[in-house]
Chains A and B, each alone.
Chain A
Amino acid sequence: MDEFLRVSNELIHQIYFGLAGLCGLVLLRGLFFRNTRKTIVYDIVYAYTIIPFLLRALHIK
């Protein structure tokens, strides 16, 4: 049971980092390939909001 809990914890933990990376990729796609919100302000927003997901996916913050 203890080992199952430990492995489950680790699995959920890694899925979480994977999801953070996925969010970062979605934002990256939004920066370059979106069809709506075509202003430079949204370019800045998309580029800037990649930062926390990148840092999270890299286990930094």
Chain B
Amino acid sequence: MSGYETYKIPRKILLLAFALLLALLGGREFVELRTMKETVVVSPAFTKVVMLSEYFPPIRGTGVDTPVYIYDSGVPGGSMFYLGGTHPYEPATTLSAYVMMENLKVEKGRVFVCPHANRSAATVGMLGNAYPKFLHVETPFGPKAYRIGDRNTSPLDQWPDPFTYVHYPSGQNLDYTDARNLNRTYPGRPDGSLTEQLTYAIMELNRKEKITLFVDAHEASLMYPVVSTYVAHDRALDMAMMASMELSATEFPMKCEASPKGLRGLSHRDAGDFCDALVILMETPEPFIDRVAGKITEQLMMDGKDEFLQTAADHGLLFTDYNIETGCPMWDRVGRHLSGTRAMIRQMNEFLMEPSKELRVSFPAYSDLKERGLGSFLHDPAKADPAKVFLN
């Protein structure tokens, strides 16, 4: 009998048991991330919540169906659709949506907020990147947990990936993983992949609700040229340029770029081309996703301090200001999104000069978060009216 045949079956059972143990240990963490719920306490201005599938029923019950929170002043005016979590590994976008939802006042017009634009991507971590599962925001009532998700739709919800992703309707060839990237599938199509259907649903909301301003919030690595930047569709370019000048003069440096016509599938290009809304995309600096950053920890996510990025900054390799003493903390990035949106609304009102498209809203700004901290704008779900508490 050869050596291999000796104790063959017990050895294989042992190896299988070891593999199952690994599957159990890993699986528990995956399940924890996939089933974790974030809480949000909506402000008194809240009107109702609907699922995105109200606008495109085929996504009902799928992993990409996601809640949209509506704040209607009852006074006719303009409307804004704020999208957080297009890429859930950019969590300042979702947090900015939550801070907005918890503190929003609407005097005129309507506001639609979707904190997890790609909910499927928010339930899975980045493959191979060893990201922590959660981040915690310090609040007066203790640390509050939020998920750190992936960039693309979970393979549990959409699979397999094509060899080459061909964007619809341009026919442009893109990276195969972008078939699951919400911000490469605009304007979407009703009979396309699940992510394309999600994008189509977002576009249907824009069209059916006649959205005036569509804001797609993102975060970027500091070595990416489009960081600390508005990227504006043609119709929104003038007002975005003014908003960037206003912000750079008063609160923080903010660049502005015109949406390239040859780069397809992005919100600032194809969303603007296929609906009437003024479309902008905003990017804040997120050291956590920089390729040269050191250990990828929750602390790096929250304070954005990294010695390797400082070295890169010293060599002029970054596209935004960086100082390790201040880093890029979460409050700063959330505040940038909030002030960036406020500046866009102000400029939109001034540029359009149309009462029927005027939007009057208030929510915390960058300076408020700088003064009082991010956590002070989040409310304790345990003490709130249960009717105002939602799970995402």
Contact = CB atoms under 8 A, between A and B. Distances in A.
Contact of A51 (B19, B57, B60): B19
Interface of B is mostly: helix
A50 B9 CA distance: 17
Contact of A43 (B12, B31, B156, B157): B12
A55 B27 contact: yes
Nearest to B15: A47
A10 B19 contact: no
Interface of B: 4, 9, 11-12, 15-16, 18-20, 22-23, 26-27, 30-31, 34, 56-62, 124, 155-157, 159, 190-191, 194, 197
User: Which of B9, B12, B19, B124 is packed against the most chain A CB atoms within 10 Å?
Assistant: B19
Contacts of A43: 11-12, 15
A11 interface: no
B26 A51 contact: yes
Interface in A47-61: 47-48, 50-51, 54-56, 58-61
Given A56-B155, A60-B34, 13 more contacts: A2-B56, A5-B190, A5-B197, A6-B59, A39-B4, A43-B11, A43-B15, A50-B16, A51-B26, A55-B23, A60-B27, A60-B156, A61-B124
B15 A56 contact: no
Contact of A61 (B12, B27, B58, B190): B27
B191 A5 contact: yes
Contact of B30 (A32, A38, A55): A55
A3 B190 CA distance: 12
A16 B58 contact: no
Contacts of A58: 27
A59 B12 contact: no
B42 to A, nearest CB: 29
A51 B157 CA distance: 19
A55 to B, nearest CB: 6
A27 to B, nearest CB: 10
Contact of A6 (B12, B31, B57, B157): B57
B156 A54 contact: no
A44 B22 contact: no
A23 interface: no
A36 interface: no
A43 B306 CA distance: 43
20 contacts: A2-B56, A2-B58, A3-B57, A3-B58, A5-B58, A5-B191, A6-B58, A10-B62, A13-B62, A32-B9, A40-B4, A40-B11, A44-B15, A47-B16, A48-B22, A51-B19, A56-B156, A58-B27, A60-B30, A61-B27
A33 to B, nearest CB: 10
A51 B4 contact: no
Contacts of B11: 40, 43
B213 to A, nearest CB: 28
Nearest to B157: A13
A61 B156 contact: yes
A35 interface: no
Contacts of B30: 55, 60-61
B18 A47 contact: yes
Nearest to B158: A13
A30 B26 CA distance: 23
Given A43-B11, A43-B12, A54 B61 contact: no
Contacts of A38: 4
Contacts of B9: 32
Contacts of A5: 58, 190-191, 197
Contacts of B20: 54
Contacts of B124: 61
A51 B62 contact: no
Given A44-B15, A61-B124, A6 B27 contact: no
A51 B56 CA distance: 36
Contacts of B194: 9
